[in-house]
Each structure stands twice: as structure tokens, then as C-alpha cells.
Chains A and B, each alone.
Chain A
């Protein structure tokens, strides 16, 4: 407190003694001193007693008076300083200062009419808005300060940006005024809280907004347009009692009608296949004059007319953004969102896509080729706005978007299929699909998941560094193929001369489109988390996992580990990228939770179909997920394969390599089922085909095998060994499994099978390097 009163004293001293001309340079530090005195300034007067407190009160009073007089100062500097300090004082003092802020408000409003610098006026508007904002929670202050002063403020603020011809309720915008943004922001901030005070001004504001939103030739900057749209939507707050919802609804409807009207002109170069579900819209098509340049007169919203395709597309995009605003902006009361009409509109716009193999557009013979081509190049912009609108709709409806989610998903996929060449379209579609998957992902069918395969592939492609740089890397592991060596001639020579260069370029290229990368990795994570993992094809899953490893994206890697590809009969071991996660993010909490859990673990990889042999696979999978991890990371498998050399072969070859191990395995399974003893002979015989490196592989994998096999039995043995430890995975139990499997004959077959499976399994973890070696050896 003592510090505060001292610093308040210092502020007063400087305010009175420093020449006014030099005050602006001090303003910043004075303001921070004032805001540091917040506690002192906001202490209610009644609680103050004693000498020091009365002294403080005097100082506060002095400060308020001095600022009041500075607001009326002759010089620009004085007024500028006063505005800054008033804001600081009001923020710091809250109610105590607000109740005596009436002179400040008057002074600030009068500054707006003077010929002060732009920054003074801007800060003035902000300060006033803030004062009105702060008083809102105190009805008495609203009555005393806001209600009388607000109309004056609105008038003078509007006068800054526009001229009002007398006796008309409309305003004309001043050209090139720097205040448009700040005034619109201020009005936007206040309109929802003081609708009745703004009501007389709605017509004036509306006329200004029409000009801003409808301007085509010199369009306003995007952020101004955005605020104007928000404000346009917020105007319904001012509607007389209980009609706000209707006002909102009619504005929304008019916007939709406007988009339809504009798109009939913009899309006239093609014959639309769309038919509205709304009977009233079906008869809407009016005859057009095809000889004229494309253009449209004033529309339902009263926006200006436009000429030329480019302005037409601009208008469409602006209106679509406004429609997103309608579903994203807070409303005054209950409104009815026309979901059906919005989807009808987007289906119309999304129906026309850039012609590709599967979809072709029907050209309108009355329109020249030039206009059609221009339209086709502009289509992605329209579709991006549509995707944004749909995303906002899904976000607004949340779980209630379920009934329409499938419809939206189909539109998104349709657009993506045709226009995936555009980076922005991709980003928008990724975002939208990601939002949809969190809603409907868990109950997706195999067909829906596979219909999304191409989008996920593209996603991986977007995340990976450009393939051109990988040529050198792919050639290193297999120099055998002839055609590849012939293509060496075309390889970028730089990548040979300077391998470091490649690294630099890779990192730079992936970070150049942060939005796209973010959207793509979010979509991958959402796909892995929300869609049933058994419905994704193994090849696609391998590609996704490979991408995740190469990008080291923590969230998506976690999603992959938590939703492993379920092991299926005859398809080898379910692989997990847990070792990579542990390597790349060793210190993260999530990884710690996953690897060293404090609660009993939900073992993943549970069977989908639930038939018996699958349970053995489960065991392996669990085994691998938990126990094999520390072991396998320690083996030679992963160490000699740092990320760059993994790029194509090691993971992508899962599919290619599958034929050999699974055939072996399924054969082994068949043999094993009837009689356990044969195992001993079958598995060596199957492995003896590759005798040259067998000792090496065995030597490498032997320790993890020992460690892993007991863990395989923790499940089966748990009944007989209730005291098994939680944290330390395996080694303690090593002697147990044999006993338990003997003791329980019924479990013997399964246990033995599991035993053998795990014997098979560890080499199969090593399958990739092995088979490659083999290939090399053979050739």
C-alpha cells in the first residue's frame, strides 16, 4: 500500500510539473504506474480511514481532476496523454473510478469532434467503449453514465466514418477514412449490450454496412469485412421485443437467397445438375442475357450490383462468409438455423467442381470458353468458403450435426476428389473431415472408412517431405534394380554432392505451409482415434504409421499407439510404433503414462471377430506393446535404421513382405493346432531356409525372447501367480510358465501356441531387415 501511495504521488507530481508537450513520452510509464496501483484505486471510499488513507483519497482526487483538465487541454499532446491515462485509471480503479468517470466520458466524446491526430481518436473510441463495457455490470452506473452518453458517442463515432445527409435515415461512407475498423469494432462490442440505445441508429448502421459488404471494385480489407459481417448479424439484437429471432432468421434467409441469386449468374457458364429440395427455389431461374458481361443487380440484401466474374465470385465468397458468421455468432434469443436450406445451398455450389476423370461438367453453349475457364479457376475459392461454412455449422450444432454429418462428409469428399490440387481446398477439407470424424467416427462402417482412404493418403503425402528428395535415399538400400539405376541420370545432382542440403530442404518445405500441415496431422490423429482401426486397410495403415514416424508428430503417434491395428489371423503381427514414440518423445507425460502405467493397463489389440485363434494373436500384440518395447528398442533392429533410411522400404514393405511370413505362420498355425510337440520341428524347419544369417538373428533376438515369453504368460499364469508384479514387466516370472502350462492342460494348447507364436514373433519383428538381406543374398 505504501508503495502504491508513493507511486501515485509520483505520478501526480510528474503530471503537474512536467511540461505538457513532453508528457506523451512519459505516458507509457505513468500508465503502468497507475495500473500497478489498482488495489489502492479500487478500495471503496467508505473503508478508508486514518491519515494515510485520507491522503490517498486526496491524491486520487487530484489525479482525476488533473486528467479531467488534461482532456480539455489546448495541446494535442496533453489530450493524447489524458486518453492513455484515463484508460489505465479506469481499468485499474474499476467501480471506484467508474462512478466518477462521467466528466471523462464527456471530455472523450468532445475530443472525437476535434481535429486531433488519428491515434488520439482511435484510443478515445477504445477508451469510451471500455468504460461503457465496464459499467455494464452496474445498473446504476449504466443509468448515470452509459445511457446519457452513449447516443452522443454513437453519433460522433459514426460521423468520423460517414456523412449523414439531413432528414434521411441513411449515411454515406467517407472514402479512405482510417476509423472504419475501430468504429465498427466499438459498435460491435456495445450493440448486444445496449440494443435499445442502438435501435434508432440501426438504419444508419445498416446502410453503412451494406456499402462495406457490397463494395466490389475497391473491396475492403478482410478484417474490416469480417467485423462488418459480424455487426450486420448482430443488428438483430436491436429488433423490438421478441422479434430478434425473426429478424435473424429473415436476414439469414435473405443471405441464402442472395447467394442463390449471385450463383445463378456466376455459374452460368456451366449447366448445373443441381435440383433444389426447396420447391420455391426450383422456379427461381430467370432468363439471362448471355451476351452481356456477367453481372447482377441489387439483391435481396440490398447490396450493390456487381459486374464481371471476379467480382461475382468475390461477392459469393463474402456472402458465404457471412452465412458462416450467422451460425458462429452469438444470438440475442432462440433462433432457427435453416440447416436444410444451408445444405441445399452448399450442395448446389459443391456440385460444380473442376472437371476430372470421374466427373465432367456440362458446358453452357451460350457462354464463351474464356468465361468458363475463368469460372473453373475460381471454383476452389468458392468451395473453400463452402467448407468453412459447413465447418462452422458442424461446430455450432456439435453432436446435433449427426443427422447431417454424412451428407456433409459426402460433399467434402466430392469436392476433395476433384480439387485436391489446391492446397487451400485440402486444408479446408481436412479441417471439416476432422470435425466430422469426432462426431460420427466411432460408428463408421468399413465402406465409409475405405471411401476416405484417398483423403488419408493425400494427407500423408502432404505431411511427408517432397518425394523428389528421397530418390537418393531410396536407392541406397536396394541398388539391385536396373530401372532405378537408369533413372539415376535424372536425379538431382545436388542431393549426391551435399547430403546435408537435403535435410535442410526437407525441413524447410514441410514448414512452409503451417496451416496445411496442422490440418493434415490433426486429421490423421482424428482418423486413428475415432474410426474403428480394423476397417482401415493394412497398406494404408502402414503408410499412415510411416508418415507419423517420419514427422514425429506426438499426438498422432499417440493416437496410433492407442489404437493399434488389430492382429488378424494369417496376417502377421500387429505392429506398433511405440518404440518410435518412446524414442522421439521420451520425456512427455503421455508417453510415460503409456509405457509405465500406474493403473492396470487396457491391453489393446483385442480381437474384432472374437474367434479363438485370434486370442493368441492378442497375446502377442499385448506382449509386444508392453514388454517387447524396452527389449526391442535395445536390440539391433532399430538402431541401425535412423529415420531417413526408413523412408520407403522398412515400413512400406510391410505389404510386400507379408506373403512370406504369414504363409509360414499360417502353416505353422495349422500344424500347431492339433499337436503341440510338432512345433519344435516346424519352426526350425521354416527358419532353416535362411541359414546364413539365422545365427545372427537368433543371437540378436535371443534376450528379448527370453524376456518376452514369460510376459506372454502373464495372462494365462495370472491365476496361479496372483502376486505378479505390476511395474517390472517380465523377468521375475521366467520359471513359471512351463509349470502353469503343464498344470493346466486345458490351457496347454493355447499356451504352447502362444509360446511358439512368440518365438516366431520376434524374428518377425525383424522381418524387414531379414528379408532384405535375403533378397540381397539371393541376387
Chain B
């Protein structure tokens, strides 16, 4: 259900609250629409103006006259931590966009302390303000911090410069690190309230009010004054229209005034009209919206509801009043907290789709500031992010951050479809058709043919006959092959036997050759023997005195007979 709540915090006073539910209560979450009722309360807190900050998960309340900040968990509805700081905290604001992960604290000594609530890192700035920092706002980009002080100056700080581990190359070398980038010093007395426009662009404005009864609209990107408003009295609180068309001022006497930027029917935005910038405009004092009773006290805090048509103001006497912007008058008393209401925040309505405020992560618990040396500024090598810099958070499932949303895969498509996507069904049908005849042979060609339809049976028949013919030829071929193989085997065996015969023949020839050799040797031996005998016979004949030659001739004759004999013999063998 659509509902809208606001958060109010009070400064403790001596008065005792009338109702028991409000005893000890310092911060209230109050439903504003559709019905007025107290949703929840956080106890034991006492905050001065500008000392309450609200993030989606937590409420931070800087305690008045103390150097501590109470941290309340909005989820659990209890006090989660009490965080001490070295100095008294005079103002507080949340930076870090929709998650609100950085808490900015303005101290009594005029410096800012930045605390990253998800990492515990803490950065302090130079004490550039001469007096306590009494009001703080962070621009919608979370890039700039505007801090107002009772020394009448407003400093503009670059959040990026303050937090960056690696300091960006800067042309501001002359100035010490962690100092403001710009100072706005058109006010002549203590700054009471600052409000910043709702634009994320570079023509955003800031409106500041001070105790010199002025409110100034200026451009915090350049420090240029846009318009001065001379107010009838000292403004204590400011609120800007959601479309930056007007701003609302709360005065010490409890009255409210709306100051319209667009008075005349000009084509040009009067704030950015250079000719009007030097001329202060003076909204008439009688324009003020009178409070219902004189004892309301200072309007410490203002807030506008979502549609910008109802203004809530928190007053010194503990009342929260609502005003109708259109009719410019008091409408009703919304709540009475007895103690002075010092801070009021309208929360974004529940149940309204708000894509830019959808959280992608949530911090259930805060990490208290750490003072250990590893996270302090000086001990690190220049610019390096320390290894133990960790970020604790709970990443939430988000619909929008699907990385592959460009091309949804089959599963997610089917998952969110009313039944199944057409492509998937067709794929399934094709598969079923193919699966239908698991008995047929597994040749892909035939299964596709079956898949087409039953109409072309003829085609299939011809195919079958073709296949059969092919089969027959294959059989024939195989039989031919068989016979051929048979014949080859026979041939081989025949050749083998031939080979064996040849081997035998060779052996025979070898034997013959050997024999011939042996006979030759024998003949040689016989010849030598005969030769010796002849020589002996010759010598014997010579000795005897006979003629050797005759003997020899005789012997030759014998020999021829013998040799012929032997030759015959050998040839016979």
C-alpha cells in the first residue's frame, strides 16, 4: 500500500511528554499519509538542528553537546551502535546517493570528518572553518559537500578529492590536501541553514540562510551569487521545492514564508538572469504564513512531502505542523512530541515504483570507524588501495542487473513463458518425429526421410530396391573375391613346393661339386707320386750307369696305360 512517512528528532528538554509511548524517545518514525500514526521510535537521543541523518538502512543522530553519534538500525528498530568521535559533532549529513554509505560530520572545531560506514574508513579534513560547522548538505551527485559555519562562510568540498585513495592530478597544489575547493562568503552572520537543488547537472543551485536576515541563492559549481533575498527576519530553516521553483523559510517566531523564484513572466530563468543578480529582492514581511498560535517557537526544520504540496515544520514547542503550499496557510498539527523538534525528514513513499531509488545492495550493519594505522592516510604508499580495504554489504537480487538481458537464453525464456516458447516446441516436435521410429536403422538419411511424411512411400520403395540391388552386387563381388582368393592360395602352395624342389636340386649340385673337388685333389696326388717315381727311376738308372731317358720312356709307356686306366675309372665313377 502506498504510504508516506517522516522522521523527526527532538532535543531533550525538561518537559515530560504527555503520553507514555513518547517517554525517552528521541527519534520518531511517523506515518503521515494515509493515516497519521506513530510507526516506530528510537530512544535515548537528543539532537540539535542539522544533527540527524537518514540512510535507507540506518538513522544517525549526533548527540547535542556530546562527541558521540548514535546509530539506529531502521530494519531492526534498535540502537545498533554508539560511535565516539574526537570532537563534538555539530552537524551531520549522509552522502553516497541512494545507499547513503558515507556519513559527513561537521565538528565543533571547524573540520569535517568523513566516515565510510561500509568500510570503516575515516578521513578528516583541515579545520577550514573558524567556528563550528553548523549545517551540512551533500549535492545530489554526491560529489560536493557544502558546509556552513557560524563564521558566516560556506565551504564547498569535493567529496571525490577527500575520499580518493589516489589523489587526482590537481591544479590546486598550493593548498594543503583535504581542504575546500571553494568558499562562498557573501553572508555576514552565522549560517543557519543550507538547501541544495535537485538537479544532477552543473546548473544546480544552493540556497543558504544566515542570521543577517538574508537568504542567498547561488551556484555552488562556480561560487557565483545568483540572487539575494532580504528576509523580514532571521531564517532558521530552509526547504526547496522538488522542482526548484521556490523555497520555503522557517522563522524564529514559527511563521513560514514561501519565496517564489519565478515572479515575473519571463522567458528566462530569473535566477540565471545576470541583470537581477546584483539586485536583492525583498519579499514582503506580510507574506508570511502565520502559525496557529504564538507559542509555537522557532521552526527548526522544514520538509516537503513527495508531491511538494504539503510542507511540514518542526517547532520549538514540540509540534509538527503541516501547511498547504497552494493556499499558503497553516493546515493542521500533525504531531506533538513535547520536546523541541529539531530535524524533520520526509521519507520517499513506500509502494511507489522508483527505479532510480531501487537498492542493489543494503548494509544491514555499519562498520565502526577504525583508527588502525593501515587505513590512516599517511602510512600507505602514495595512492595505493590497502589490501585490507573491504566493503561489507549485502548484494540484493535485482531484476534489472541481468548481465545477459540482451540475449535471454532458452531457459529463462521458457521459464517466464506462459507455457513454452514456440521455438522450443518446434524443436521438440522435430525430435519426437525422429524419435518415433527407433526400430528403423540408425542411418540418419533414412530417419530424416521418415521424418518428412508417409506420402512418399514410393520414393522409399525405390530406395529400398536400390539398396537391395546394391546388396546383390555387393554379394557377387564378395563371391568373386572369394574365388580369387582361393586361386591365389593354390598358386602360393604350388610355388612353395617348387621352391622346395629347387632347394633339393641345389643341394645335389653342391654334393657333386664337392666330389669333383676331392677327385681332383687325388689325381694331383697321383701325378706327384708318379713324378717322384720317375725321378727316382731316372736317378737310379743314372747311378747304375744306364741311360735314364730310356727308363723314363719305358715308364711313360706304362704310365699312359695306367693313366688311361685311371681316367677311365674316374670317368666311370
Instruction: Give me the interface of A with B, judged by CB distance under 8 Å.
Output: 24-25, 27-28, 31-32, 34-35, 76-77, 80, 84-85, 87-88, 91-92, 117-120, 122-123, 126, 129-130, 133, 181-182, 185-186, 189, 192, 223, 226, 276-279, 281, 327-331, 333-341, 343-344, 395-400, 402-407, 410, 439-448, 451, 529, 532-533, 562-563, 599-604, 606-608, 610, 615, 618-619, 622, 626, 714-716, 718-719, 722-727, 729, 747
B86 within 8 A of A: no
Q: In the complex, A123 Cα to B426 Cα: how many Å? A: 12
Q: Which residues of B contact A32 (CB under 8 A)?
A: 418-419
Q: Which residues of A contact B222 (CB under 8 A)?
A: 606-608, 610
Cβ distance B422 to chain A, nearest Cβ, rounded Å: 7
Q: In the complex, A586 Cα to B381 Cα: how many Å? A: 54
Name 27 interchain pairs, CB-CB below 8 A, sorted by A: A28-B425, A31-B420, A80-B428, A91-B417, A91-B418, A120-B428, A126-B420, A192-B397, A277-B380, A277-B384, A333-B394, A334-B365, A344-B387, A400-B101, A405-B160, A406-B168, A407-B385, A442-B221, A447-B169, A532-B202, A603-B269, A603-B272, A606-B272, A610-B222, A716-B275, A718-B268, A727-B267
Q: Is the CB of B275 within 8 A of A715?
A: yes
Q: Is the CB of B390 within 8 A of A600?
A: no
Q: Is the CB of B269 within 8 A of A602?
A: yes
Q: In the complex, A34 Cα to B403 Cα: how many Å? A: 33
Q: Which residues of A contact B395 (CB under 8 A)?
A: 327-331, 335, 396
B77 within 8 A of A: no
Q: Is the CB of B267 within 8 A of A601?
A: yes
Q: In the complex, A9 Cα to B395 Cα: how many Å? A: 48
Q: Which residues of B contact A76 (CB under 8 A)?
A: 432, 435-436
B172 within 8 A of A: yes
Cβ contact of A336, chosen from B274, B364, B390, cutoff 8 A: B390
Q: Which residues of A contact B243 (CB under 8 A)?
A: 599
Cβ distance A337 to chain B, nearest Cβ, rounded Å: 4
Q: Is the CB of A84 within 8 A of B275?
A: no
Q: Is the CB of B268 within 8 A of A622?
A: yes
Write the chain B residue with the least CB distance to A615: B274
Q: In the complex, A680 Cα to B223 Cα: how many Å? A: 36
B85 within 8 A of A: no
Q: In the complex, A740 Cα to B167 Cα: how many Å? A: 51
Write the chain A residue with the least CB distance to B383: A407
Closest 4 CB pairs of A and B: A278-B387, A340-B389, A119-B428, A330-B397
Q: Looking at chain B's contact residues, is the secondary structure mostly helix, strand, loop, or mixed?
A: loop
Q: In the complex, A498 Cα to B161 Cα: how many Å? A: 55
Cβ distance B160 to chain A, nearest Cβ, rounded Å: 4
B355 within 8 A of A: no
B276 within 8 A of A: yes
Given A600-B267, A715-B274, A400 contacting B262 (CB threshold 8 A)? no
Q: Which residues of B contact A25 (CB under 8 A)?
A: 429
Q: Is the CB of B385 within 8 A of A344?
A: yes
Q: Which residues of B contact A278 (CB under 8 A)?
A: 387-388
Q: Is the CB of A119 within 8 A of B273?
A: no
Q: In the complex, A110 Cα to B230 Cα: how many Å? A: 82
Q: Which of B137-145, B520-528, B562-570 participates in binding chain A?
A: B137-145
Q: Which residues of A contact B420 (CB under 8 A)?
A: 31, 84, 87, 123, 126
B396 within 8 A of A: yes
**Contact mask for chain B residues 73-110; partner A; CB cutoff 8 A; 1 contact, 0 none:** 00000000000000000000001111101100000000
B378 within 8 A of A: no
B431 within 8 A of A: yes
Q: Which of B291-299, B407-415, B451-459, B533-541 participates in binding chain A?
A: B407-415
Write the chain A residue with the least CB distance to B434: A117
Cβ contact of A607, chosen from B169, B224, B412, cutoff 8 A: B224
Which residues between 159 and 173 of chain B lie within 8 Å of chain A, taking CB atoms? Answer: 159-161, 163-172
Q: Is the CB of A714 within 8 A of B143?
A: no
Q: Is the CB of A445 within 8 A of B170?
A: yes
Which residues between 348 and 401 of chain B lie within 8 Å of chain A, taking CB atoms? Answer: 360-361, 363-365, 380-381, 383-398, 401
Write the chain A residue with the least CB distance to B364: A334
Write the chain A residue with the least CB distance to B418: A35
B571 within 8 A of A: no
Most buried by A among B141, B276, B365: B141
Cβ contact of A340, chosen from B168, B386, B392, B398, cutoff 8 A: B386
Write the chain B residue with the least CB distance to A395: B401
Q: Which residues of A contact B419 (CB under 8 A)?
A: 28, 31-32, 34-35, 84-85, 87-88, 91
Q: Which residues of B contact A615 (CB under 8 A)?
A: 274
Q: In the complex, A445 Cα to B168 Cα: how many Å? A: 8
Q: In the complex, A747 Cα to B273 Cα: how many Å? A: 14
**Contact mask for chain B residues 128-163; partner A; CB cutoff 8 A; 1 contact, 0 none:** 000000000001011110000000000000111101
B266 within 8 A of A: yes
B116 within 8 A of A: yes
Q: Which residues of B contact A399 (CB under 8 A)?
A: 95-99, 101-102, 142
Write the chain A residue with the least CB distance to B367: A336
B424 within 8 A of A: yes
Size class of B's contact patch?
35 or more
Write the chain A residue with the least CB distance to B157: A443
Cβ contact of B166, chosen from A337, A406, A446, A600, cutoff 8 A: A406
Q: Is the CB of A714 within 8 A of B101?
A: no
Cβ contact of A330, chosen from B167, B270, B398, cutoff 8 A: B398
Q: Is the CB of B168 within 8 A of A603?
A: no
Q: Is the CB of B169 within 8 A of A276?
A: no
Q: Is the CB of A443 within 8 A of B97?
A: no
Cβ contact of A529, chosen from B201, B417, B422, cutoff 8 A: B201
Write the chain B residue with the least CB distance to A35: B418
Q: Is the CB of B267 within 8 A of A126?
A: no
Q: In the complex, A118 Cα to B364 Cα: how many Å? A: 45
Q: Is the CB of B360 within 8 A of A398?
A: yes
Cβ distance A155 to chain B, nearest Cβ, rounded Å: 20
B121 within 8 A of A: yes
Q: Is the CB of B391 within 8 A of A406?
A: no
Q: Which residues of A contact B441 (CB under 8 A)?
A: none
Cβ contact of A403, chosen from B143, B163, B221, cutoff 8 A: B163
Q: In the complex, A532 Cα to B121 Cα: how many Å? A: 29
Q: Which residues of A contact B404 (CB under 8 A)?
A: 223, 226
B118 within 8 A of A: yes
B439 within 8 A of A: no
Q: Which residues of A contact B172 (CB under 8 A)?
A: 445
Q: In the complex, A725 Cα to B116 Cα: how many Å? A: 50
Q: In the complex, A334 Cα to B394 Cα: how many Å? A: 4
Q: Which residues of B contact A716 (CB under 8 A)?
A: 275
B253 within 8 A of A: no
Q: In the complex, A400 Cα to B398 Cα: how many Å? A: 18
Q: Is the CB of A277 within 8 A of B381?
A: yes
Cβ distance A495 to chain B, nearest Cβ, rounded Å: 36
Cβ distance B310 to chain A, nearest Cβ, rounded Å: 22
Cβ contact of A724, chosen from B265, B393, B410, cutoff 8 A: B265
Q: Which residues of A contact B269 (CB under 8 A)?
A: 600-603
Q: Is the CB of B431 within 8 A of A606?
A: no
Q: Is the CB of A407 within 8 A of B116?
A: no
Cβ contact of B270, chosen from A442, A444, A600, cutoff 8 A: A600
B427 within 8 A of A: yes
B264 within 8 A of A: yes
Given A76-B436, A395-B401, A615-B274, A339 contacting B385 (CB threshold 8 A)? yes
Most buried by A among B95, B166, B276, B424: B166
Cβ distance B427 to chain A, nearest Cβ, rounded Å: 6
Q: Which residues of A contact B99 (CB under 8 A)?
A: 398-400
Q: Which residues of B contact A722 (CB under 8 A)?
A: 264-265
B219 within 8 A of A: yes
Q: In the complex, A439 Cα to B397 Cα: how many Å? A: 22
B306 within 8 A of A: no
Cβ contact of B390, chosen from A192, A277, A340, A410, cutoff 8 A: A340
Cβ distance B554 to chain A, nearest Cβ, rounded Å: 100
Given A400-B99, A722-B265, A445 contacting B171 (CB threshold 8 A)? yes
Given A76-B435, A715-B268, A24 contacting B390 (CB threshold 8 A)? no
Cβ distance B20 to chain A, nearest Cβ, rounded Å: 36
Q: In the complex, A92 Cα to B419 Cα: how many Å? A: 9
